[in-house]
Amino acid sequence: MNISEAIKGRISVRSYLDKPVSKEVLTSVLDTARWAPSGTNTQPWKVVVVQGEKKQAISDAFLAANKAGLETNPDYAYYPEKWQEPFKQRRFECGMDLYKALDIGREDKEKRLAASLANYQFFGAPVSLFFFIDKVMGKGSWFDMGMFLQSVMLAAREHGLGTCPQASTSDYPDIVREITGVSDQYSLICGLSLGYPDESKPVNQYRTRREPVEAFTSWLE
């Protein structure tokens, strides 16, 4: 697989096979990703790999918090307070395309809720990686974390693995820190579901839309 194929073929996988991922494979993925660039080589990433009972404990705690109506309290604001175009329309199209792939009607509130809560169940993935950053670091280091996260996702593809980066799994960061034993000195950026994709599921066959190069590029000479 060449670099272009790895980038263009990456999708957010939302259904996984019931197949474990070995520690050797996970180590290889992270060993590749650690070469991602970072400002002055600060390498600000901290990763916790969660499987088995610990992963289930986090999932159960997420679902219980949601059921109890506990307000989410992520360590940062992922989305704007007020949506504006063209971002509002792109977000809407993304949601509609996803619901179509899941065969969920616009008025089917029960299925929509189930689809939302699937985030807290890691879409059935056998592995979840949680990405943290020390709170002393500035915004530039968050940029570094994005490059590292992308490197993890691309390295995973070499092993036939699929991934789904999930800001939703940072909705209750205190839950994650408590169960993983990570100090509150660290901000939780996101989780990343990882495993072998179930290619038979329609949700893994649809693609989100992308703007052409001309729409976001200016050429100056």
According to DSSP, the residues that pair with 162 across neighbouring strands are 195
Given this model, what pLDDT does residue 107 score?
80
One digit per residue, the tens of pLDDT, for the chain of length 221 reads 899 999 999 999 999 999 999 999 999 999 999 999 999 999 999 999 999 999 999 999 999 999 999 999 999 999 999 999 999 999 999 988 888 888 888 788 888 889 899 999 999 999 999 999 999 999 999 999 999 999 999 999 999 999 999 999 999 999 999 999 999 999 999 999 999 999 999 999 989 999 999 999 999 99
The first and second tokens of residue 41, run together, are: 């080589």
Q: Phi/psi zone of residue 69: left (φ > 0), alpha (ψ -120 to 50 degrees), beta?
A: left
Q: What is the largest CA-CA distance in the chain?
A: 58
- 3-207: CATH topology is NADH Oxidase (3.40.109)
Given this model, what pLDDT does residue 106 score?
77
Cα–Cα distance measured from residue 161 to residue 150, given in angstroms and rounded to the nearest whole number: 14
Angle among Cα 162, 87, 165 to the nearest 5 degrees reads 20
